[in-house]
Amino acid sequence: MYCLYFFTETGVVSNYYQNFYMNNEYLSKEGLEKLKNELESLKTDKRKEIADRLKHAKSLGDLSENAEYKETLEAMNLMEDRIEKLEDIIKRAVVIEKGSGSSVQLGSAVKIKKEADGKICEYILVGQEEADISLGKISNQSPIGRALSGKGKGDKVKVLTPGGEINYTIENIS
């Protein structure tokens, strides 16, 4: 943890603590590559496409009442925001390897059993950007991801959800 102090003639105005580890974006090697490809596509193909659309919209005349021009400007702003976000994520990326060991960590595949009904679920613990529940990938920052992190096979975990508390037992970690 780092502490930064801001000074004035009268002394310390404030101090600011920043934990640089909290700013990391955890990604698999494949996830990082996917984001880099998306960024490259946006910077080349998509920018050119939007520039062409803007050129066409400008040729239609009065820009103050040109819906196509306004729509294209909005698309350009959304694209530039996404480019900025991707550049930031890639800059802060920490590549995680497939988890191994006796405790749940980023990259671990974990099999858990819901105590209430015995239902078995299998998840892979990933960073926030790669989370996709339909693919069985859950974020390390999600309630279940936080509850599982650091736990071992046979451990019981409580997950606090908006619908209430759910209890699980960790069946397997790989």
Q: Give a yes or no: residue 119 inside a domain.
A: yes
84 and 121 part of one domain = no
Q: Give a yes or no: residue 38 inside a domain.
A: yes
Strand pairing partners for 6?
14
161 and 129 part of one domain = yes
Q: Give a yes or no: residue 88 inside a domain.
A: yes
Q: Minimum mean pLDDT among 1-10, 108-117, 143-152: which range?
A: 1-10
33 and 89 part of one domain = yes
Kindly report the average pLDDT of the chain as a whole number: 85
Domain range for 61: 25-94
Q: Give a yes or no: residue 41 inside a domain.
A: yes
Q: Give a yes or no: residue 85 inside a domain.
A: yes
What's the number of domains the chain is made of?
2
Q: Please name the residues in contact with 9: beta carbons below 8 A apart, sequence gap of 6 or more.
A: none
77 and 103 part of one domain = no
pLDDT band at 22 (very low <50, low <70, confident <90, very high): low
168 and 109 part of one domain = yes
φ and ψ at residue 114, rounded to 5 degrees: -75, 125
> 48 and 89 in contact (C-beta within 8 Å)?
no
Strand pairing partners for 156?
169
φ and ψ at residue 36, rounded to 5 degrees: -65, -40
Burial environment of residue 121 by CB neighbours within 10 A (0 to 12, 13 to 18, 19 or more)? middle
Q: Give a yes or no: residue 6 inside a domain.
A: no
71 and 112 part of one domain = no
pLDDT band at 50 (very low <50, low <70, confident <90, very high): very high
Answer whether 0.85 is exceeded by the pTM: no
CATH of residue 102's domain is: 3.10.50.30
Nearest to 111 by CA among 53, 74, 155: 155
Pick from 41, 65, 94: which residue ends a domain?
Answer: 94
CATH of residue 32's domain is: 1.10.287.180
> 152 and 169 in contact (C-beta within 8 Å)?
no
* Residues 83-139: tens digit of each pLDDT: 999 999 999 999 988 766 789 999 999 999 999 999 999 999 999 999 999 999 999
Q: Which residue has the higher pLDDT, 95 or 61?
A: 95
86 and 136 part of one domain = no
Q: Give a yes or no: residue 65 inside a domain.
A: yes
Contacts 24+ apart (CB under 8 A), 13-17: none
